[in-house]
Structure 1
Amino acid sequence: MFSAESRYAHVPDAVFTGPGGRQIHYRRLRRIPFDIPIQATYVVADGDRFDLVSNTVYGDPLQFWRICDANRGLWPDDLLAVAGRHLDIPEQQ
């Protein structure tokens, strides 16, 4: 269901059984570790987008979520809103 590069690839599935016996399959919550190894720092520039930043540092625009996780970004655009902000760039796994 999810590609191997997806942030949900290693999140376990679960099943909820309702009162009538109906089963609902879902993905459990993804836990973000507190000890994410950092490899570099990136300085935000005007007009930055996470897909472009991720492509620059990882060569893959779909890995933007790693940067968001390392910087505790609930709303990714907020992390890029201020030029000059320093973002932690985690090691690629």
Structure 2
Amino acid sequence: MTEIEPYENALDAIPGAHPYPRSSRYHDAEIGVHRMPDGTEVRYTKRRLLPPLSEAAQEGVPHTVSSGDRPDLLAQRYIGDPGQWWQIADANPVLDPHELTEEAGRTLTIPGSDGFQGARYA
């Protein structure tokens, strides 16, 4: 797991800096503003496209799914943080993370330490 300097974590607490913490899959997503007919502005997260896989992610660690595997448990085992399951989903690419582990015997790619361009917790 990549270490983040303490002052960088403090940036997550600044109001308006970004609505998602650095560990979120949406941290780098663009924030849009929709103006309602009455002039009210509504902020929303624009569509997040899968980032390009780096060579490390493409050559990641293979994992054969067994009964009882879950994306969060795999993230804890391989990445050290169950909240980073989305990195495994992105590396395999699936729309529904449950697809990752619903079929025993499937082989998944677990992204390497440099998994994605811009990934902060790979």
So what's the TM-score if we normalise by structure 1? 0.87
Counterpart in 1 of 2:89?
A: 68
Q: Report the count of equivalent residues.
A: 93
Query: Are residues 1:42 and 2:60 paired?
Result: no
Query: Are residues 1:8 and 2:29 paired?
Result: no
1:50: Cα distance to partner? 1.1
Report the AA paired with residue 81 of structure 2: D
Q: Which runs of 4+ in 1 moved over 3 A?
A: none
String of CA shifts for 1:23-78, please: whole Å, max 9, x gaps.
11111111102434232111101111111111111111111001111111111112
Asked whether the 8 Å contact 2:71–2:100 carries over to 1, the reply is no
Report the AA paired with residue 60 of structure 1: D
1:82: Cα distance to partner? 1.3
Query: Are residues 1:17 and 2:30 paired?
Result: no
Counterpart CA distance in 2 for 1:7 and 1:43 is: 24
More strand by share: 1
Unaligned runs of 5+ in 2: 1-18, 114-121
- Across the aligned residues of Structure 1 and Structure 2, the Cα RMSD in angstroms comes to 1.5
Query: Are residues 1:82 and 2:103 paired?
Result: yes
User: What is the aligned-residue identity percentage?
Assistant: 35
Counterpart CA distance in 2 for 1:2 and 1:35 is: 22
Task: Indicate which of 28, 33, 49 corresponds to 2:51.
Answer: 33
